[in-house]
Amino acid sequence: MKSNKVSTLWVEGQIRLIDQVCLKSMVRAGLDVTLFHYGPLQNVPAGVKLADARGVLDLGLLDRLQMRKRIDRAAWQPIANFSDFFRVYLQKFGLGLWLDSDVFIFHNFEYDTERPFFAKEDRHRIGSPVFYLPADHPIIGEYERLVAQPELLPNWLGIWRGIVRPTWWKLTRQEFVPPDLGITIYGNDAFTRLAKRHRCYGLAMPSKSFYALNGKETERLFHDCDFRFLLDDPEHIGIHIHRKQRGTMPAEAGSFWEWALLAFNEG
């Protein structure tokens, strides 16, 4: 069955300008958009449905994702890690394809609810900002078993982060928790490794679908440059903006961000 239902998460509070614009682009593209949340929200765009996130995943998991070594990341990484679990649990309950709230959508699209839907963000890794699994997919079970464990240490990590680094920390009596091993261990690195384990890696769409620009490359979206290639080619379904801090700065003339503000943030 085909669907255009998409979902995302904002825990509570005021929604950033970049995320407001991206949510508006999803609605304008004709997608059925649901925003899950745990507390009161401000600046929710018209056309976005709201839903109680507590029925998907207990926010108490956030306490288990607090960091011990990487205190410099403590203000934002636990939320990012929590959202990785949340997007998988969305799939468990059949609540739609996950889109990060900073994914800008160019046009309507549908996905087959009977098969995974994701794309490579570079030559090797599957991106986590756009992610869908059928409700009975074995990757979901991997996360359920992980949550049931006393420690949130995944069994899918590579040798360095799964064995070498934690062993060294233990031998040198350094206190740590699994999230100290890196922001991607429950997200794109996890999805890539698990997709290979469960033989669905080959279903990944090409990068141009949502990641024509990736990582630091997305700086270009905020500077004067020719961005029409993103709009003119229908194989570009959307773009993960990624550099969210740029949205607080004045829009540069001739940039994609200036165009997006004018087109999707009027009123």
Q: Is the pLDDT of residue 227 over 80?
A: yes
pTM: 0.94
| HEC sequence for the chain | CEECEEEEECCCEECCHHHHHHHHHHHHCCCEEEEEECCCEECCCCCCEEEEHHHCCCCCHHHHCCCCCCHHHCCCHHHHHHHHHHHHHHHHCCCCEEECCCEEECCCCCEECCCCEEEECCCCCEEEEEEECCCCCHHHHHHHHHHHCCCCCCCCCCHHHHHHHHHHHHHCCCCCCHHHHCCCCCCHHHHHHHHHHCCCHHHCECHHHCCCCCHHHHHHHHCCCCCHHHHHCCCCCEEECCCHHHHHCCCCCCCHHHHHHHHHCCC
Kindly indicate the confidence band of residue 247, based on its pLDDT and cuts at 50, 70 and 90.
Answer: low
Instruction: Give residue-wise pLDDT tens across range 234-246.
Output: 999 999 998 766 6
Mean pLDDT of 169-179: 91
The residue extents of the domains of the chain are 2-136+203-264
Percent of the chain with pLDDT over 90: 85
